[in-house]
Amino acid sequence: MSVHKLENPRRNVADTAEPLGFRPLYRQVKAIFVRRLVDGVWAPGESLPSEGQLATEIGVSQGTVRKALDELAAENLLVRRQGRGTFVAEHDERRILFQFFKLVHDDGERRFPDSTVLGVETGKADESEYVALDLDGEADVIRIRRLRSLDAVPIILETLTLPQRVFPGLEAGPIPNNLYSLFAARYGVTIANARERLKAVALDADEASQLAAPVGTAALRIDRIAFSLDGSPVERRLSICLTKEAHYLSDLR
Amino acid sequence: MSVHKLENPRRNVADTAEPLGFRPLYRQVKAIFVRRLVDGVWAPGESLPSEGQLATEIGVSQGTVRKALDELAAENLLVRRQGRGTFVAEHDERRILFQFFKLVHDDGERRFPDSTVLGVETGKADESEYVALDLDGEADVIRIRRLRSLDAVPIILETLTLPQRVFPGLEAGPIPNNLYSLFAARYGVTIANARERLKAVALDADEASQLAAPVGTAALRIDRIAFSLDGSPVERRLSICLTKEAHYLSDLR
DNA sequence: GAGTGGTCTAGACCACGAT
DNA sequence: TCGTGGTCTAGACCACTCG
């Protein structure tokens, strides 16, 4: 039944000494599942086979499958719903809002900002870009510049840098507000997590005119690198944010 | 053996309809453990009885105890070490550095900043303080103002506000660099988590002189509220941070 | 009622750390 | 060698969702 080679499917008397490290069975099972997500065998929104089916298919107990699925759910890659099944997570607005959008209006409400694209261009990566995206110096990138507004008030000036190799042709089409959903649907690239570095800066002349604020106004500069399922950086996003009526919310747990 | 009243120790035929909600056994067990942490029955650094001992004591299976302990470990309240045992988490420098201190030098190294206390005072909470700490308007608070430096460079101007009721006499003694450790040791108050709100601001004259930077320099303003084990806010910490050589690091998962 | 994930149990064995 | 937490299994039953 099982078509997967699992290390040490049963550690028995005849085992030679383990060379180094030990990989529990449920992590090997998890790796199989991650591979299916990366390969698109299981696509966003789809429901997975039941725990029991997966267990017999792979040849382990249901408890082992459960532990693998639980870890993937904890990483927001799967969504489990009692009585319904297990589903591949989607980058719908709600998920983005809670997982990837930390700028919240001071009134406490989370809202999804509108976007106006200011420009799209392609070119060679500059140093900060190829370092961030782990590219070589001659790599081509796509740059998208857009202005984002909450309640029609411009609040974020955003510059995205994407490796052209990963997203060929993206520069030609329309740029949707929800990019991560497009990455998944059109390129099979799932954004799994991101790292943001924040600094306070003063607006320069260009930023000031775009954001309709005085030159020199203090603003939040967010330098985000987003990673795909396989751990490689696939997006760099530099945001300049006004924080007069909004703040960056960070939960420390 | 068990001295704890567990709801529905066994759901059986005679059960009347459940009124509302359902509380799994392992969460009830977890609540017992949290209570022991709050009451100081299990103090920071101490080792807990083994899973088996706890299971027989409470009268549930080892697997149920395990699930409760696993959740507490995931919340950084316990530390589990294979082969050694389960321990109550301490607020040592390393934990603080990773869990509660997000300002990182641009070179990527995490270092614990030095502190110089500028002043300690007591008084009535102002509005922002009693709102943050969920106090009534007449409550007394302790305020600590200090300057924190990385590599001898002043980088954070910090104002702490603490409810005097929770930390009586704290204003009289010396203020250590690691306050959370003091909270635990002297007042039995464990900081479990915190919420930070960030904005970009321009330095005023006072802040500028303390931080040895020009008036109007863009700086990061971090408004932290820290919560104790029982979920009540016990510290408000307002930090003004220079981000010329450091940044706030936020991982989105 | 059928099917799904969620809980709970009991028991065997493994990896790790200290003795 | 022993005690600890970690893994894995098998099976029973519960809570939730949907047809």
pLDDT in tens, B19-47: 447 999 999 999 999 999 999 999 999 99
What's the confidence (pLDDT) of residue A126? 96
What's the confidence (pLDDT) of residue B5? 60
Give per-residue pLDDT as tens, A143-186.
999 999 999 999 999 999 999 999 999 999 999 999 999 999 99
CA gap A245, A219 in Å, rounded: 12
What's the confidence (pLDDT) of residue B137? 86
**Is pLDDT of A18 > 60?**
no
Question: Quick check: B60 CB within 7 A of strand C?
Answer: yes
* Across A94-104, average pLDDT: 95
Residues of A in contact with B109 (CB under 8 A): none
Of the pLDDT bands very low, low, confident and very high (cuts 50, 70, 90), residue B13 is: very low
Residues of B in contact with A76 (CB under 8 A): 253
Strand B191-202 versus strand A246-252 pairing type: antiparallel
CA gap A218, B204 in Å, rounded: 12
Chain D nucleotides near the protein (CB, 7 A):
3-11, 13-18
The percent of residues in chain A predicted with pLDDT above 70, rounded, is 92
CA-CA-CA-CA torsion sign (B106, B108, B114, B120) = positive
* Across B49-58, average pLDDT: 97
What's the confidence (pLDDT) of residue B21? 78
Give per-residue pLDDT as tens, B173-232.
999 999 999 999 999 999 999 999 999 999 999 999 999 999 999 999 999 999 999 999
The kind and range of the H/E element at B26 are: helix B25-38
Indicate left, alpha or beta for B162 from its phi (over 0: left) and psi (-120 to 50: alpha). beta
The kind and range of the H/E element at B30 are: helix B25-38
Show the tokens assigned to B37. 């942490």
pLDDT higher at B1 or B231: B231
- Put simply, the answer to whether A250 touches B216 (Cβ < 8 Å) is no
Q: Are B142 and B162 in contact (CB under 8 A)?
A: yes
Q: How far is CA A49 from the centre of its chain?
A: 24
Identify the CA nearest to A192 among candidates A110, A114, A95, A103: A95
**Residues of chain B (58-87) having a beta carbon less than 7 angstroms from strand D:** 63, 66, 69-70, 80-86
Show the tokens assigned to A155. 């609040």
Question: Quick check: A63 CB within 7 A of strand D?
Answer: yes
Show the tokens assigned to B2. 């068990």
Which residue, counting CA atoms, is nearest to the C1' of nucleotide D6? B82
Question: Quick check: A21 CB within 7 A of strand D?
Answer: no
Percent helix, percent strand, percent coil in chain A, to nearest 5: 25, 35, 40
Chain A CA closest to residue B219: A200
- Put simply, the answer to whether A198 touches B253 (Cβ < 8 Å) is no
Residues of A in contact with B220 (CB under 8 A): 198-200, 220
What's the confidence (pLDDT) of residue A183? 97
The separation, in Å, between residue A62 CA and nucleotide C18 C1' comes to 35
Identify the CA nearest to B225 among candidates B136, B134, B124, B153: B134
Tokens 């990773």 -> residue: B98
* Across B73-95, average pLDDT: 97
Which residue, counting CA atoms, is nearest to the C1' of nucleotide D5? B82
Chain A CA closest to residue B76: A253
Max Cα-Cα span within chain B: 75
What's the confidence (pLDDT) of residue B68? 98
In chain A, DSSP finds a helix count (H) and a strand count (E) of 7, 10
* Across B233-250, average pLDDT: 98
Chain B CA closest to residue A74: B253
Alpha helices in chain A (DSSP H): 25-38, 51-58, 62-74, 93-95, 127-133, 179-187, 205-211
Q: How far is CA B5 from the centre of its chain?
A: 30
Residues linked to residue A194 through DSSP beta bridges, in sequence order: A226, B252
Show the tokens assigned to B74. 């995931």
* Across A68-87, average pLDDT: 98
Give per-residue pLDDT as tens, B115-172.
999 999 999 999 999 999 999 989 999 999 999 999 999 999 999 999 999 999 999 9
Show the tokens assigned to A244. 């007069």
Show the tokens assigned to A123. 């070119």
**Residues of chain A (48-77) having a beta carbon less than 7 angstroms from strand C:** 48, 50-53, 63, 66, 70
- The domains found in chain A, sorted by start residue, are 25-88 (1.10.10.10), 93-248 (3.40.1410.10)
What's the confidence (pLDDT) of residue B4? 59
Which SS3 state, helix, strand or coil, does residue A76 take? coil
What's the confidence (pLDDT) of residue B7? 64
Residues of A in contact with B100 (CB under 8 A): 252
Max Cα-Cα span within chain A: 75
DSSP letter for B98, please: I
**Is pLDDT of A40 > 80?**
yes
Q: Are A155 and A113 in contact (CB under 8 A)?
A: yes
Q: DSSP E strands: which ranges in chain B?
A: 78-81, 85-88, 103-105, 114-124, 140-150, 153-163, 191-202, 218-228, 233-241, 246-252
Indicate left, alpha or beta for A85 from its phi (over 0: left) and psi (-120 to 50: alpha). left
Of the pLDDT bands very low, low, confident and very high (cuts 50, 70, 90), residue A71 is: very high
Residues of B in contact with A105 (CB under 8 A): none
The percent of residues in chain B predicted with pLDDT above 90, rounded, is 91
Tokens 């988590």 -> residue: B193
